[in-house]
Amino acid sequence: MPSLFSSYQLGGLTLPNRTVMAPMSRVRAAAGGLATPEMAIYYAQRATAGLIVSEGVQPSLVGQSNPGTPGLATDAQRDSWRQVTDAVHVNGGRVFAQIMHGGRVSHPDTTGFQPVGPSAVAGEGNVFTPNGPRPMPVPRALETDEVPEHARSYADAARRAVDAGFDGVELHGANGYLISQFLSSNANLRDDRYGGSVAGRIRFAVEAAAATVEAVGADRTGIRLSPGGGIWDAWENDAVELNTALLAELAHLDLAYVHLEATADDDVLLSLRKAWPGTLIVNPTMPGGPQQTGPAEAVRWLDRGADLISFGRAFLANPDLVERLRNGLPIAPVDQDTFYQGGDAGYITYPTYRHTAA
């Protein structure tokens, strides 16, 4: 049985352990969506993870979801990331960029554009804007001939990511953002080839993944999924059928990995483990739920067939999480008030474990 601390071969990368730092928005980019020196410190502090997946990075101006997020839509944004990837690599780490197109989870106050989506259906709830929380607006439904352009935006951002020194990319197909909206049974009401049937609703995800594989290679391309959905009001009422069909199509592309969130019950996740022939990352706890992933959840899912385990909040407050897990040391709690407030506090100020004299 694999250990959380045994090595793993992920494409051309040898991971020294099976812990993954999950992608988490921290909204601390500079004006223009540029990465900062503080971001380099933040990721370098956590470089002992087997793999780091960055916060969501917008592939285009209209694809930005929240204010303060970084991009890979321009050459200047690409160049700004080199300080981050260099810092991670100097500290012995490996890092993928998560490419995240917000789709309808956006606002004109943030981007200057009306958000786009598969259908003109607004999600429930408020989105973050520079002017405070605002209701999600009705997106503009993409015309059929526009959809491939947005699928290719993931590939364009992936090229910039690799040029910036990232080891690969993860397409954000989860949590109610654009790929997830196309997969959704309530956000996608299309009757063209990108909607309706399961085959239609998975088409956008497959095209985005195929374009990215062509751009940077299969061994540098992963995808994150949230079976069943529900986040940002994007639901999948046929989660097993939909995601099984999607994994069957993605298997032809030989992706580096699939990253599943625990947004469905264990039976669904186990059925998807059986359906996916390649590397599987599992995030064992519900995003934003009351429980964060700890050693017990990690071991449980390794025993159930996951290859790698992703940790979110635990990595925020514990830059030395791998060593804490290895040595059975206490896991420090996170300060939720500092998740998105900006500045260094609660970002690069969490200490490593301090041993005290007996």
The residues carrying an active-site annotation are 177
Given a contact cutoff of 8 angstroms between Cβ atoms, the answer to whether 249 and 173 are in contact is no
Q: Tell which residue, 8, 35, 38, 37, has the closest CA to residue 20.
A: 8
Q: Which amino acid is at 35?
A: A
Distance CA 358, CA 353 (A): 15
Q: Return the residue matching tokens 């410190």.
A: 41
* Nearby residues of 57 by Cβ (< 8 Å), 6 or more positions away: 69, 70, 71, 72, 97, 98, 99, 100, 157, 161
Kindly compute the dihedral angle of the four CA atoms of residues 149, 155, 160, 161, in this order, to the nearest 10 degrees.
140
Q: Which amino acid is at 149?
A: E
Distance CA 321, CA 331 (A): 7
Distance CA 260, CA 283 (A): 6
Given a contact cutoff of 8 angstroms between Cβ atoms, the answer to whether 309 and 302 are in contact is yes
What are the start-end ranges of the E strands in 118-213? 126-127, 134-135, 140-141, 168-173
Token digits for 228? 């069943």
